[in-house]
Amino acid sequence: MSARISDTFATLRSQNQKAFVAYIAAGDPGFDKSLEIMKSLADLGADIIELGLPFSDPLADGIVNQMAADRALKAGMTTARVLELIREFRKSHETPIVLFTYLNPVFTYGYEKFHADAAAAGADGILLLDLPPDEAGINPDLAAGTGLDHIRLIAPTTPAERVGMLAKASEGFIYALSRTGVTGAHGGGPS
C-alpha cells in the first residue's frame, strides 16, 4: 500500500474534501515540458497525478489521448524515460503518482522489473487498463513487495456481483468510470 496515496485520502476525508486527480500524458510535448506540467499541477493543488505511459495502441483512449501518446512516442518517450520523469519530479514534490498504462508496455519491460523500477522511481500506484484481476494469468503477488497500489476499474456496466470482487482487488482507490466508451470528449478531437 502506498503511504502517499493512503495519507492523501486520509487528509481529504478529515477535511470532508474530494480528490482532484489530474491526468497528463507523459512526454507530450516532451520530457522537460511534462516535468514542468507535473510540477505546476502539484503546486496548484492536484491531490494525485495520473501519469499516462505512452503506448502505440491505446484501445481505451479517445482521439485526444491517442494523439498525445503518438506525440510522446515521436518525442522519444519510453517506459524508462517515464520512470526518469518520475525520479526528477520526486526531487521536489511528494504528490502521489499513479501510472496509467496498458499491459503491453509493462510486459515488454518485464512485469516484475517494471513494478520494482516504478516503485524505486517514486510511483505510488498503477492502473493497468486492460488487465482484469480475474483474467490476468499473471500473479499479482509478484509485485506485492513493491508498495505500488493496484488501482482497478469499475464501469457503469459492471455487474453488481463483480463490483465487490473488484473492490477487494483494488488498492489505494477505485477508478470509477463515469460512462462507457473511450476516454475524452465525444465528437472528435482537435483538427
For residues 186 and 153, the model is more confident at 153
**How confident is residue 183, by pLDDT bands cut at 50, 70 and 90?**
low
Q: What is the pLDDT of residue 50?
A: 96
pLDDT (0 to 100) of residue 186: 52
Give the H/E segment covering residue 8. helix 3-14
Q: What is the pTM of this model?
A: 0.88
Q: Are 119 and 95 in contact (CB under 8 A)?
A: no
Is the pLDDT at 187 greater than 70, yes or no? no
Backbone angles phi, psi at 153, to 5 degrees: -95, 140
Q: What is the pLDDT of residue 63?
A: 79
Across the range 77-95, mean pLDDT stands at 98
Q: Stretch 59-81: mean pLDDT, rounded?
A: 85
Q: What's the whole-number mean pLDDT along residues 48-56?
A: 93
Nearest of 22, 157, 32 to residue 85 by alpha carbon: 32
Dump pLDDT digits (tens) for 87-141: 999 999 999 999 999 888 999 999 889 999 999 999 999 998 887 776 655 555 5
Q: Any idea which residues carry the catalytic annotation?
A: 50, 61
CA distance 17 to 13: 6
Q: Which residue ranges form the domains of the chain, and what is each CATH number?
A: 3-176 (3.20.20.70)
Please, are residues 151 and 140 in contact by the beta-carbon 8 Å criterion? Answer: no
Task: Please name the helix (run of DSSP H) or strand (run of DSSP E) that holds residue 14, with its range, or none.
Answer: helix 3-14
Cα distances (Å, whole numbers) of residue 93 to 4, 32, 42, 60:
11, 15, 7, 29
